[in-house]
Amino acid sequence: MAGSSSWSRALMQISPYTFASIGIAISIGVSVLGAAWGIYITGSSLIGAAIKAPRITSKNLISVIFCEAVAIYGVIVAIILQTKLESVPDSQIYAPESLRAGYAIFASGIIVGFANLVCGLCVGIIGSSCALSDAQNSTLFVKILVIEIFGSALGLFGVIVGIIMSSQATWPAKTA
């Protein structure tokens, strides 16, 4: 099965558990990066705008909650992914089934992580504009919230595809 060039041979010798663990790390780490980025973008505008218009604070916390949800998606998927890790005997580590399972978990982690990164950014930037517009004209809040809801659906898409990806990550059965 080893490829002819040394690079592909080297890649195939990396344990599938490495790939799986990195995938889990990315899913939680990059999601939280996206959530934090979004929260500070919204939060700094919200604090400044609330000085002149204190009424906006309670409603605009919804933007922060949408960003936070992105981090929660990352945690949930990371927990699901780590339940998919199973030990296989030494002879089976580099079997095609094992490699497939490792790559599936890795891919799932990347999908969720980066989808949540951009979702958190999107919701954060819209939340910032929402706070500033609400401070000037309170009828705008609900309309901009609709845009945010569409934005936060992007994270959900990532979670769905990630879970589907990881659900078919089956490690080879232990031979007796």
Task: Compute the distance between CA of residue 154 and CA of residue 147 in angstroms, rounded to an integer.
Answer: 12
- Residue 22 CB, nearest distance to another protein (Å)? 25
- Residue 57 CB, nearest distance to another protein (Å)? 12
- Residue 155 CB, nearest distance to another protein (Å)? 17
Nearer to another protein, 51 or 176 (CB): 51
Nearer to another protein, 49 or 115 (CB): 49
Nearer to another protein, 91 or 137 (CB): 137
Binding site for another protein (CB under 8 A): 37, 40-41, 44-49, 51-53, 121, 125, 128-129, 131-132, 135-136
17 near 102, Cβ under 8 Å?
Answer: yes
